[in-house]
Amino acid sequence: MTPMKDVKVLVVDDNALILDLLMKGLLPHCDARAAADGADALLKIVDDPPDLVVCDYRMPGLDGRQLYEKLRGRQQTKAIPFIFLASRSDIEEKLRPIVEGVEEFIPKPFFLKDLVRRAKKVVDRLQLEKLQNRQVRPGVVQGRLEEMSIMDLMQSLEMGQKSCQLTIRRGEESGDLFFASGQCKDARLGALEGEAAVFEAVRWPEGEFEIDFNRAPTRDIISRTTTGLLMEALRLVDEGQRDGESEDAQVTEG
C-alpha cells in the first residue's frame, strides 16, 4: 500500500535509540520528522508546524510539558495535537490534568507496535480531516484505497463519530457502507448485505472511495460496533490465510 504522507508528525525524544525506533515505526504511515530534544522541537515547530507531535515527557532543558505549554501560548501552534510518552507515575501526577489537545498518554515501557497502532489511528483521523478540506463538492471527499484502506477509513469515521455514506468502486464493482455517529449500520456490496458486505469490502486492496457526509443510513441491519466489525474481519482474513497455507502445504507434500 502506498504510504499516506500528507500528515506531518514531529517525533521528539532525547534518547537517540528510541527516537530512531519511533521514526522507523511511523515513517510508513506519515511524513515523520525527528527532533532531538524540546528546544530543537520548538524551533522546528515554529519554522514548519506539524499536524501532530509525538513527544517524550522527561527531557533535559525544555521537557515535554513545557514544550506543550509554549505551543499552546502561540496562536499558530496552539491547536497542534500531542501524544505524550511518559512513565505511569508521570502521567498520573504531572500530565493527566492536561486534556486540551492531548490525543493519547502512552505509558513507558511500551511495545513499538502498540505505539504505532495508537498513533496511526490519530494520523488516519487527521488525514480524513485533510481530505474534508479538499472536498470535491460540499460534504463530499474522494480518494484511493491504495492510500487509505477500508479499515483506516472505518476507524477514522468511528473516531470522528461521523455520519455518512462510504462508497467504494473497483472496475465495474461498487458498494456502499452507511455510518451513523461513527457506527456502521448498513452495507451493500454486490449481492452481499450487512456484515457479509463489510467483510468482503475490507478485502479490497485497491480502488476508489467517496465519502458523502450529506447521507445517513436509512436502515439499521448491523448490530456489531465498527470496532467489532473490524476485529471480526481481521479474524476472518487471518483464518483464510491459515487455510490457504494449509492447502499449500498439502499440495506440496502430495
DSSP E strand stretches across the chain = 8-12, 31-35, 52-56, 82-87, 102-108, 140-144, 164-170, 173-180, 183-189, 192-193, 208-212
Domains of the chain are 8-129 (3.40.50.2300), 136-240 (no CATH)
All three cell numbers of 196: 457479509
Categorize the per-residue pLDDT at 171 as very low, low, confident or very high, splitting at 50, 70 and 90. very high
Could you read off the pLDDT of 34-58 as tens digits, one per residue? 999 999 999 999 999 999 999 999 9
CA-CA distance, 123 to 150, in Å (whole number)?
A: 15
Asked whether the predicted pLDDT for residue 80 surpasses 90, the reply is yes
Half-sphere exposure of 21 (CA within 13 A, CB side): 13
CA-CA distance, 22 to 25, in Å (whole number)?
A: 5
Pair type for strands 82-87 and 31-35 = unpaired
Count each helix (H run) and each strand (E run) in the chain, helices first.
8, 11
**Side chain identity, residue 71:** L
The three-class DSSP label of residue 213 is coil
Could you read off the pLDDT of 129-139 as tens digits, one per residue? 888 888 888 89
Pair type for strands 82-87 and 52-56 = parallel
Categorize the per-residue pLDDT at 1 as very low, low, confident or very high, splitting at 50, 70 and 90. very low
pLDDT at 254: 37
Could you read off the pLDDT of 205-235 as tens digits, one per residue? 999 999 999 999 999 999 999 999 999 999 9
Could you read off the pLDDT of 184-213 as tens digits, one per residue? 999 999 999 999 999 999 999 999 999 999
CA-CA distance, 141 to 36, in Å (whole number)?
A: 37
CA-CA distance, 27 to 22, in Å (whole number)?
A: 8
Asked whether the predicted pLDDT for residue 67 surpasses 70, the reply is yes
